[in-house]
Amino acid sequence: MFNYQSEWDFSYKQESIIIGIFEKSIKLAGKLAELDTHFQGELTNLVKSGDISAKQKSLAKIHTFGKIGTKRIIFVGLGKEKELTFDKLKEVFGAAWKEIKKDKWKETSVYIDSFVTEKLNASEVSHAFSEAFALSTYEFAGYKQKSNEPEKRIEAITVFSKADQQEVEASLYVGFVYGRGTNSARDLVNLPGNMLKASDLAEYAQNLAVTYDFDIEILEKEDMLKLGMGAFLAVNQGSVEPPKMIVLKYQGKENWQDVIGLVGKGITFDTGGYSIKPKTGIVGMKTDMGGAAAVLGAMEIIGEIKPEQNVVAVIPSTDNMISGAAFKPDDVITSMSGKTIEVLNTDAEGRLVLADAVTYAKHHGANYLVDVATLTGGVIVALGMETTGAMTNNEELFEQVLEASQAAGEQIWRLPIFECHKEKVRSSAVADLNNSPTRDGHAIMGGAFIGEFAEGTPWVHLDIAGTSTTRSAYPLGTAGATGAMTRTLALLVERFRGARK
């Protein structure tokens, strides 16, 4: 899809080219000054008049009227050079890609060197460009009847840069892989519950394993009974759909050690059980497997870039339904770890399936744990829809997750787990733990509960209840699923340095 060219020849025939312009001077310089000569200085006049603006994310489409081989130039405002960051650059590219998609052009190009700064080299610009392409042009196909007209898609992208071809092409590839993996997670989250059951999620993981040569294990209900996964099985009791414990292994080192465990909540639909959700709250619960989607999207990226790191992905998947067999408030269940749990809220089911999944990840040799889940509405109350809540028992591991999230452009904020929170989770009169001690600090209660099963293993919990979906379009996506934490998890694995207990 990406075609590298070391020099932009103005006679090159194409539908459009994307060029960046900074707020620095009215006079165009370098290659852009040379371009301006083909327009007899009219581009400079358009800059002076403000028709071509350098304001960040502003777009100006200029028809060339045959003065050069390209039909149209898209000038993209970059703001002040020293203020342009990698994240802002991705949003700038996202705005340009959305415009190109709207115009239904089948080919375009970019002058990479016009976006390079002292802080952002051509490789970083290329990564931002291709990742933004994948993310911003995404849309969920849906189930509406289609017209007979063939859909117009971008088929060819030419990249002009004097930078090293190998480095630029490698960055274009990696950026696109990160964007595509995120889109895979978005697709899964956007699927309706009747189209994505636990068995479908297991089949999806099976296909990933075949594509990337992962080791795979799918535990059936009988296997879980033998292993004593009473917490997971309790949530599945009300369902006619069999549960699946999905395990994918990627071995990037010679020996199976220093293993990162990625654990994703895979509740394919959540009624709340007998603690049933209200009619407005139950709509959208097809997205309650956002954590599983993030882990599977990350595994796709890992399969492509092949980092030197060992990873085990564990996904407990079921729906949480109501029937005569469903588990009830006041039930006491026994987890795989042996810890007993008093159920005070059947709508606090995510922490129950994650309890057994975390234990099983450790069973597979996970030395570090990161769980991702649409766990609590409480995290939205605390942090809004734009920030993922995080909790941890290990500073070194958390710092690396934080660094990965910042590099991915995905905001996280740490919430505390103090001894008083642990005491509340342990406050049952009849069991070791209770699954919902109080509405106060609800997001913290959920994280503290999962932490009881991580025990001494370095662990980070990511609550994406707010960030897994969005109500409106934005430069790098559409309304619906965001694929939150997919890129953060993949970057964590790619850059992992280890963490002491």
Which helix (H) or strand (E) covers residue 122, if one does? helix 122-136
3-state SS of 374-407?
CCCCHHHHHHCCCCEEEEECCHHHHHHHHHHHHH
Active site residue 351: yes
DSSP state of 262: E
Instruction: Give counts: helices (H), strands (E), the chain.
Output: 16, 20
- CA-CA distance, 51 to 63, in Å (whole number)? 13
Both tokens assigned to 470? 């969005």
Q: How many CA atoms lie within 13 A of 404 on its CB side?
A: 25
Short-list 283, 289, 277, CA closest to 471: 283
Question: Active-site residue among 98, 351, 362, 424?
Answer: 351
**Rounded to whole angstroms, what are the CA distances from 111 to 82, 307, 389, 484?**
19, 30, 38, 30
Residues 130/181, Cβ–Cβ less than 8 Å? no
Short-list 98, 272, 266, CA closest to 188: 266
**Strand ranges (E), 178-305:** 215-219, 244-250, 259-264, 266-270
With residues binned 3-state (H G I as helix, E B as strand, rest as coil), the percentages for the chain, rounded to 5, are 40, 20, 40
Short-list 352, 353, 335, 348, CA closest to 442: 348
- CA-CA distance, 234 to 237, in Å (whole number)? 5
Q: Which residues of 35-74 are buried (b: 16+ CB within 10 A; e: fewer)?
A: bbeebeeebbebbeeeebbbebbbbbebebeeebebebbb
The angle at the Cα of 123, spanning 121 to 126, to the nearest 5 degrees, equals: 110
Intra-chain end-to-end CA distance of the chain, in Å: 45
Question: Active-site residue among 71, 101, 277, 426?
Answer: 277
Sign of CA dihedral 200, 203, 209, 210: negative
Q: How many CA atoms lie within 13 A of 126 on its CB side?
A: 26
Catalytic residues: 277, 351
